Structure 1
Amino acid sequence: MKAISCSTRSAGFSARGGGIIYVSHRLEELFEIADTYTVFRDGEFIETGPIAALTREELVALIVGHELHTHTHSERGADARPMLEVEGLSVRGKVRDVSLTVAPGEVVGLYGLMGAGRTEFLDAVYGIGPRDSGRVRMAGRDLPPGRPDLAIRNRIAMVTEDRKLSGLVLPAPIRHNISLSILGRISRFGVLRGRAEKALSADLGRRLRLKAASDQMPAAALSGGNQQKVVIARCLSSAPKLLICDEPTRGIDEGAKQEIYTIIDDFVAEGGAVLMASSEALELLQVCDRIAVFKKGALVRIIPRSAANQQNLLHEVS
């Protein structure tokens, strides 16, 4: 069976006189396929023109309504003592003898093809997945396998890969989703303190620029980007020092992506650390200080941001 790319099919259709309106969250596809672009933002027409006349950064700026935030990568976190230390972590058939560190003020990315072991590694670090061997330490304290409660107690929070399956209680209100991780702190004698929950929701909603008519709306009624912000708000509610993110921008629009990048950048600027897996090389290149490349369950190389580009990342996993 011969695979035919979308760009090949669309080129053939347009060559026969057809016209195509193509909508995608993946901007690389637009530059490959489209002849012209049209940008809408918040229901309003913004601009149209030939796509060859602008760069990816210029298109993103049109989509989000402002210039892209410049992320600093000049040895960020390089001299700090590691916050997270992973030594020889293995998961049978999935991850083989992986060691890495994450320092305060640093974003470390995990890159690899599907099945490379990134998610299994993150799950094992956090304690929701198996760990057959290896050691995980957070701020010098050992974290045993299979104990996410101890990870949370040691100020680790995790944005899981699938927000609808494991990140949110979709029928529940936004307010309740945000407070799930700290119910014990905002309850008294087993009774939830409504005012405390409301104040928490309002504060995080404002900080993360959550777009919702009310925090009493069910999470299911939100757009994908705002659902992801609720997941991150729940994580931040516990005041973590380490944020583990597995595909934190999957299935959301470019504007929401840029806002989440800014949330991550603000978090590390305040001394937090981030361990982040993504299948998008450009995303990791924009956000991360170092990129750990996974292939067939093994860590093959850690590349500093100053030496990384899309070509050498793809070369390492091919």
Structure 2
Amino acid sequence: MVISLGIEGYGYLLSVGIIDDNKVLINKSKYFESPDYQDYYPYFIATHHRKNVLPLIRQCLTESNLQYQDIDIICFSNAVVMRMLAQMWNKPIVVVNHAYAHIKASEFYSKVENCVVVYLCGKFSQIMVKKDDKYKIIGSSLDISIEEAYLKMSKYLKFYDKEEYLGATIEELSKKGTDLILLPYMINGFYFYLSGTLCSLQNLINNASIKIEDICLSFQEAVLSIIVEITEKAMLDAQANQILIIGQISENKRLQDMMTSMAKDNCSVVFEFNKNYSIDSGVMIALSGLQQYKKYGPTKWSESGIVEK
């Protein structure tokens, strides 16, 4: 039995999760709220995370009836404070790749085997296939990611999904849309571009005669159709029979419906979706770190520093 503590501090989210082998003991999150509810401010986010990470860890330990002595490993993706904590507690550390943690956690809890991974996180919109326990990127956005497109769209319309997943307001308004406006987008094999789509959207938003609901409907149908089309190509090319969507956009009900419909039309392909582990969380770091620890052991201190980019 190995108890793993995972800390996630990616973007505005701070999350701590503790697992006992494969059993989730607790997962707590705290969000940074930007002053104008739109942009990221690295300095303020860092200050928020530094201020809240130790109280959040303390809260998780208390609510799961654990002491710090009970923790066997500390897992994170390159966070200085966690190196300090590991030294104070004299615990081994495991440095986890953020994207890999997303995939492994979703894969583990969804029980998928032969799947196409649709990775829609932050600045990345990538289509991957698994081969020899490794993931090969076979397609992606070449300019603006799907999540960035939703962020830009929300900013254009002055929306902020404070409590919901990214794009929740756009999805709700799109249900009330009645007039679908065709928007330009470009697909080249497994790769695509969205800059032209967003430029066209700006022109629509500036047109007072077009309803916001119709703009949201047109935007959502365009960007989600791209992902579904490329996923279908990848699935047929890789002869996969499952689809795994990762990221906040995976909570979009319209995307789930489109993927499910496409899957049924292609040899009864199974669509897998797991809300709890497809988004950022401390649990996904703890689980991925635990699997890595069992296979390769702890990360060397000399290999766990911050890498400047």
Q: Which has the higher helix share?
A: 2
Q: Give the TM-score, by structure 1 length.
A: 0.28
Q: Which has the higher contact order (CA 8 A, sep 6+)?
A: 2
Q: Give the TM-score, by structure 2 length.
A: 0.29
